[in-house]
Amino acid sequence: MNLNQFNINNFNDFGLNKELLKIIYNIGYKIPTEIQVRCIPAFLRGKDILAIAKTGSGKTASFVLPILNNIKINNDLQVLIITPTRELVIQIYNFFKLFINYFKKIKILSLYGGQNYNIEFNNLKNKPNIVIATPGRLLDHINRKTIYLTNIKILVIDEADEMLHMGFIKDVKIIIKNIKILHQTALFSATMSFHIYKITKNIMNNPEEIILNKNKINLNIVQYYCFINYKFKINTLMKFLETENFIRLIIFVKTKDFSLKLSSLLEKKGYLSSALNGDINQNLREKIILNFRNGLIKILVATDVASRGLDISDVNLIINYDLPYNINSYIHRIGRTGRANNIGKAILFLEKKDLKFLNLINKKFNNNIKRINIPNFNTLLDFRFNKILDLIKKNFYRNNLILNFYKSFLEKIINNLDNKEILDITLSLLILVYENNFSKISYKDLLKFK
């Protein structure tokens, strides 16, 4: 990208407030992303904006920074941001919080389903300047007359194509009707269908259309697929879990029910896993995301409620266990990895009947989706052997003699998995070596793959 084309070399060139700049650099941002270069100047000038840029390209800061720069210190509710999921409301709220701690006079509030009403009522009485909300809960407050959108000057709709789609459009229209004065509207999304694009015309006034990489893919995500008979799906998943090197993983499934089932199965297998779906109570939902962020949970088994907008560092693998509903759902699901400049991997599970979907996304992604081999018996053994060896190395790294002994011994075990006697001795030894780290479950696993 040639930033100079827009006379922007770094964040200093936007003419933003000095305090704001300091915080941007403190957060660790060095240069603005392309969407920020294009969006921030237009936003600062008060233009209506339609911004389409790939997942993980920094759309949030594209609206948060100009909003904070332009906001007035008074008692008016000036800015409204709406977005489809509660998790996204919280995420955007927390991003604002990084700045608001320094701009102490600006008041910001989040409104979303499942949050305690009394807290929201009290906070609304406190006259927030910025509200971030899910449409349902916001409408609820409008109807209760606990919020008035009379003075809104900026409306941001994040995940705009989803918000203008069937599920939300009715609510969004009512919300917009409640904004009386002429205001600036900015829409953000990674995807946009032609049908939705047409609707955007009705809610904006001569917008600046910033459409980047319209049909291009997020090259930071390496995409794979494999065909599996549905009977072997769980078994195959287990094999990938052993052989894939993931820090944090999201497995997308179709139903809420199955998300719970699969997650508890994974927990039984010893994985730090949790389900996330729309039926889980809000406190728990928040705790799950928090634990996933801080590493207490490594695998999230989620429905599409987690497919949009979530920005969680170190999610380096996405498994589409069940087929996404459509191409956009696929794009947003895999977009939970490969964010900012990080690299991610996505694996799509397909059944023979899903060939059509594969052809569709392959067309969209210029045939960049490659076949991945399902790990076979030998691959798994190699992984186990090396894993055990690594552990032993860690425990006995000071004594090479012991290490060499274990190495040749382990080679014998791995090559003789049929021999019951050797397995029994192995189990005793492994328990001795690992103490609590080696459970009977792992032993059974070792047997299973004979």
91 versus 273: smaller Cβ distance to ligand ADP? 91
Residue labelled with tokens 């287990």: 238
Q: What is the DSSP string of 314-346?
A: TEEEEEE-S--SSHHHHHHHHTTSS-TT--EEE
Task: Look at residue 185 and give its three-state secondary structure.
Answer: strand
The distance of closest approach from Cβ of residue 311 to Mg ion in the complex, given in angstroms and rounded to an integer, is 7
Please report whether residue 29 would count as binding ligand ADP according to CB under 6 A.
yes
Q: How far is CA 410 from CA 13, 92, 403, 427, 438, in A?
A: 61, 51, 10, 12, 15
Q: Of ligand ADP, Mg ion, none, which one does residue 340 interact with (CB within 5 to 8 Å by kind)?
A: ligand ADP
Q: What's the N-to-C CA distance of the chain in angstroms?
A: 53
Q: What is the DSSP letter of 13?
A: G
- Describe the strand order of the beta sheet including 315-320 as a list of residue ranges: 273-276, 299-302, 248-252, 315-320, 344-350, 221-227, 370-371
Q: How far is CA 50 from CA 173, 199, 437, in A?
A: 17, 12, 53
Nearest-5° Cα angle at 23, 99 to 187: 55
| Token pair recorded at residue 386 | 């090396």
Nearest-5° Cα angle at 62, 56 to 68: 135
- CB of 53 closer than 8 Å to CB of 190: yes
Q: Which of 383, 365, 376 is nearest to 224 (CA)?
A: 365
Q: Secondary structure of the chain: what % helix, strand, coil (to 5)?
A: 50, 15, 35
* Of the residues 309, 324, 335, 344, which one makes contact with Mg ion according to CB under 5 A: 309
Q: What is the DSSP letter of 114?
A: T
The distance of closest approach from Cβ of residue 344 to ligand ADP in the complex, given in angstroms and rounded to an integer, is 12
Measured CA to CA, the distance from residue 414 to residue 423 in angstroms comes to 9
38 versus 59: smaller Cβ distance to Mg ion? 59
* Of the residues 98, 296, 340, 441, which one makes contact with ligand ADP according to CB under 6 A: 340
Site string for Mg ion, 250-289 (x = CB under 5 A): ----------------------------------------
The distance of closest approach from Cβ of residue 31 to ligand ADP in the complex, given in angstroms and rounded to an integer, is 6
Cα-atom radius of gyration of the chain, to the nearest Å? 25
Q: What is the DSSP letter of 136?
A: H
* Of the residues 38, 47, 59, 336, which one makes contact with ligand ADP according to CB under 6 A: 59
The distance of closest approach from Cβ of residue 56 to ligand ADP in the complex, given in angstroms and rounded to an integer, is 5
Measured CA to CA, the distance from residue 357 to residue 63 in angstroms comes to 34
Please report whether residue 33 would count as binding ligand ADP according to CB under 6 A.
yes
Please report whether residue 6 would count as binding ligand ADP according to CB under 6 A.
no
Q: Of ligand ADP, Mg ion, none, which one does residue 227 interact with (CB within 5 to 8 Å by kind)?
A: none
Q: Single out the segment in contact with Mg ion by CB under 5 A; choices: 56-64, 113-121, 202-210, 415-423.
A: 56-64
Q: What is the DSSP letter of 306?
A: G
Please report whether residue 220 would count as binding ligand ADP according to CB under 6 A.
no
* Of the residues 16, 23, 32, 96, which one makes contact with ligand ADP according to CB under 6 A: 32
| Identity at 411, one-letter amino acid code | E
Q: Single out the segment in contact with ligand ADP by CB under 6 A; choices: 25-33, 100-108, 146-154, 426-434.
A: 25-33
Please report whether residue 56 would count as binding ligand ADP according to CB under 6 A.
yes
* Of the residues 20, 61, 77, 446, which one makes contact with ligand ADP according to CB under 6 A: 61
The distance of closest approach from Cβ of residue 40 to ligand ADP in the complex, given in angstroms and rounded to an integer, is 10
Q: Single out the segment in contact with Mg ion by CB under 5 A; choices: 113-121, 165-173, 268-276, 305-313.
A: 305-313
Q: Of Mg ion, ligand ADP, none, which one does residue 55 interact with (CB within 5 to 8 Å by kind)?
A: ligand ADP
Q: What is the DSSP string of 242-259?
A: HHS--SEEEEE-S-HHHH
* Of the residues 59, 141, 332, 333, which one makes contact with Mg ion according to CB under 5 A: 59
The distance of closest approach from Cβ of residue 382 to ligand ADP in the complex, given in angstroms and rounded to an integer, is 35
The distance of closest approach from Cβ of residue 26 to ligand ADP in the complex, given in angstroms and rounded to an integer, is 12
Residue number with the smallest Cβ distance to Mg ion? 309
Please report whether residue 311 would count as binding ligand ADP according to CB under 6 A.
yes
341 versus 436: smaller Cβ distance to ligand ADP? 341
The distance of closest approach from Cβ of residue 72 to ligand ADP in the complex, given in angstroms and rounded to an integer, is 25
Please report whether residue 336 would count as binding Mg ion according to CB under 5 A.
no
User: Which stretches of the chain bind ligand ADP, using CB under 6 A?
Assistant: 29, 32-33, 36, 53, 55-61, 311, 339-340
User: Which stretches of the chain bind Mg ion, using CB under 5 A?
Assistant: 59, 309
